[in-house]
Amino acid sequence: MNYEEIKKNEEVKAFIKKGNDNLGILGYTDHSEAHCCKVAENAAMILKEFGYSEKEMELVKIAAFMHDIGNAINRKHHAEYGALLANDILKDTDLALEDRVTVVSAIANHDESTGGAVSPISAALIIADKCDVRRNRVRNQDLKNFDIHDRVNYAVTSADLKLDMEKKVITLDLQIDETMCTMYEYFEIFLGRMIMCRRSAEMLGAKFKLMANGSKVL
């Protein structure tokens, strides 16, 4: 079982679609395959830069593509639900037991409300997921009906994930339109996630830095 096979798995795709549809009705940002693929690519890039193996890069891509399937059941505790679903799907593949447990554990611990980095694969998944902040994840196109989550995400006009391997620093560099939201509002929504990224970076032997409009804020 590899990443390309998981991306084509009809069961996985159905859970991602249903979860994304549910979140759309509930007013959440996009959690479609596009988000899952972006998280997978960035998580693998992080592990590659830190010298992890091709196998570990493959496992993090599998975990990342599947990380939000629990939303098909419920948003609350979606990480844990997703881990159980992933285990059920992956146990019928040729993925080794140890690798399956690693993937399932990473999925189970990716949400800031209940989890935290428990392995390098988990850490890379968390950073890639929490740093996927972009305007085109906002589904509501009626600005006058934006809630705070819509405004904060829509206010991010660019988000670059940068790795400085010489200094061992992972940086999320944001450009924020402060006519859409204040910096206080941004931190109200994202501070917990950014702290989670900082702890995840520490597991990789690095520091996490958040830049907003050219200034260091974390």
Instruction: Provide mean pLDDT across the span 18-22.
Output: 98
**Which is nearest to 56 in space by CA: 107, 111, 3?**
3
Instruction: Provide mean pLDDT across the span 36-43.
Output: 98
Please state, as a whole number, how many other Cβ atoms lie within 10 Å of the Cβ of residue 186: 25
What's the predicted TM-score (pTM) here?
Answer: 0.95
Question: Is the pLDDT score of 201 beyond 90?
Answer: yes
Structure tokens at 17: 């679609």
Question: Is the pLDDT score of 42 beyond 90?
Answer: yes
What single letter denotes the amino acid at residue 201? A
**Band of the pLDDT at 218, cuts 50, 70, 90?**
confident
Instruction: Provide mean pLDDT across the span 176-194.
Output: 87
User: What domains does the chain contain, in order, with CATH numbers?
Assistant: 3-216 (1.10.3210.10)
How far apart CA 157 and CA 179 sit, in angstroms, is: 12
**Which is nearest to 196 in space by CA: 111, 107, 77?**
111
DSSP code per residue over 19-68: HHHHHHHHT----SHHHHHHHHHHHHHHHHHTT--HHHHHHHHHHHHHTT
Structure tokens at 218: 């974390």
* 86-127 pLDDT tens trace: 999 999 999 999 999 999 999 999 999 999 999 999 999 999
How far apart CA 213 and CA 109 sit, in angstroms, is: 30
